Amino acid sequence: MTGDHDILVIGSGAAGLTAALALAEEKRVLVLAKGSLTGGSTAWAQGGIAAVLDAGDTFEDHIHDTMVAGAGLNDRDTVEFVIERAPHAIDRLIELGVPFNKESGALHLTREGGHSHRRIVHVNDATGWAVQEALLKAAEANPNITMLPGRTCIDLITGRHEERYSGAGQVWGAYALDEATGEVEAHVARATVLAAGGAGRCYLFSTAPRGATGDGIAMAWRAGARVSNMEMMQFHPTCLYNLEVKNFLVTEAVRGEGGRLFNPRTGDRFMESYDPERLELAPRDIVARAIDAEIKRYGLDYVHLDISHRDPEFVKEHFPTIHEKLLGLGIDMTTQPIPVVPAQHYTCGGVLVDLYARTDLPGLWAAGECTESGLHGANRLASNSLLECFVFGEAAARDILSMWDELDAPPPIRPWDASRVTDSDEEVVIKQNWTEIRRFMWNYVGIVRTTKRLERAANRIRLLQSEVEDYYGQFRVTTDLIELRNLLQAADLIVTCALKRQESRGLHFTLDHLETDPVAVDTVLLPR
């Protein structure tokens, strides 16, 4: 049992560290990270952060672009709340030392798909890494923040785990596996912030990091929180196609700066047939479906993304990380096209939160990709994701501090009980089930869906659930087992939501319901 802190933050990415830094102004904060402190999605973000900073741009334009991309499913109040706070978030990051690119003394702004203006601040093509570094540096220097890497959270501690049982649903921290020792610790806290990232690893091809197994979403669901819009799974149109290199994203900004998509067999610039006005700058769902259609129609392995018509120095200056990576693979993007395929990229649904980042469960706040705040709707607009992390991380911290005196001190909590389990002698079961989930999710619950395919996925999930629960009940927890359990839970939530939505809207495109309903309605699941 650990207790020399006031507040627990689960996750060390942009949302978690933003919350931790704001909370640490007054309280002692413990940050838990699965694997390394830089293992989350934040460090992988290439593009940048969207904010209204240009003279010709307005909040109203950014709000409009976000609502259009989100196919009307966004919550207007949330969209306004986040976008109006974006310039402040950028100022705060500059204070923390993030070296955003500048041009003639002003911030250099790039443009990405779905945006009507240049409004993306960036650090070359590795913004996320610069942000992660600055936040970590500030957190490490703060005496009120303790960071514990190598901790895989298993479940939220609720009233059910009190020494004196309570059914109130209050959250008092989390049980976490110490990956080095194999021991399970109870990290008890008066308030908990969930910032555990998305569920991208449910899919065979994903740009998400290895640890994006839906842990936060699954834990909150099991504890009794509602989950919403999990069918809205974003696929990034342009992931490098290379059998040796997994999950290397080619940022949206390549298209923003003039990159064009071609069918390698016909030589045609095919976006002219799918979205003749916006072409390669159409929102991600449209571009991903277009690439998927070309690949299926012509039996291709990939399509070509070509920016070689731009000046070589311009390309190298704007995309140094990508240029260098591709050169190492024998591709010179200044003279050759890049082979790309769509890949799962972002979880737009998640744990329901309000504008204070509160979940349904008292004592639990949440921010970032594990949430459904109403910002993204049916499709996330490029570079709004890091922005959401900063705004809601800050909102969670401010809300917790404002109501601190009303929060009860944690009651005595039962330690983790491992008395009835043994070490596994069947690790192959985990690997087999993990591979199976990712494959059927890709084939049956991908970019284009049908009811029959979704029902097949639901049947597979039912079969696996009893097998995984049985295994989980018998053997000591390991990170792989915890992730498998959460991955399966996340897959179940995605498929359940997808079957409920009998229309095509944004990222949910089904051949059985091609029309879009006149009124946009969230898919909200209530815990059983």
By annotation, the residues acting in catalysis are: 284
AA identity, residue 491: A
* Residue pair 287/256 in contact by the 8 Å Cβ criterion: no
Sign of the CA dihedral running 315, 317, 320, 324: positive
Q: Determine the Cα angle at 523 with ends 521 and 528, to 5°.
A: 145
AA identity, residue 230: M
AA identity, residue 312: P
For 406, left (φ over 0), alpha (ψ -120 to 50), or beta?
alpha
* Residue pair 281/114 in contact by the 8 Å Cβ criterion: yes
Place of tokens 């190492």: 328
389 φ/ψ angles, rounded to the nearest 5 degrees: -60, -45
Distant-in-sequence, close-in-space partners of 55: CB < 8 Å, separation ≥ 6: none
Q: How far is CA 418 from CA 174, 177, 414, 421, in A?
A: 16, 12, 12, 6
Residue 98 CB coordination number (10 Å): 19
CA–CA distance, 162 with 363 (Å, rounded to integer): 14
For residue 414, what is the DSSP state? P
Reading the block at residue 33, the tokens are 């990270």
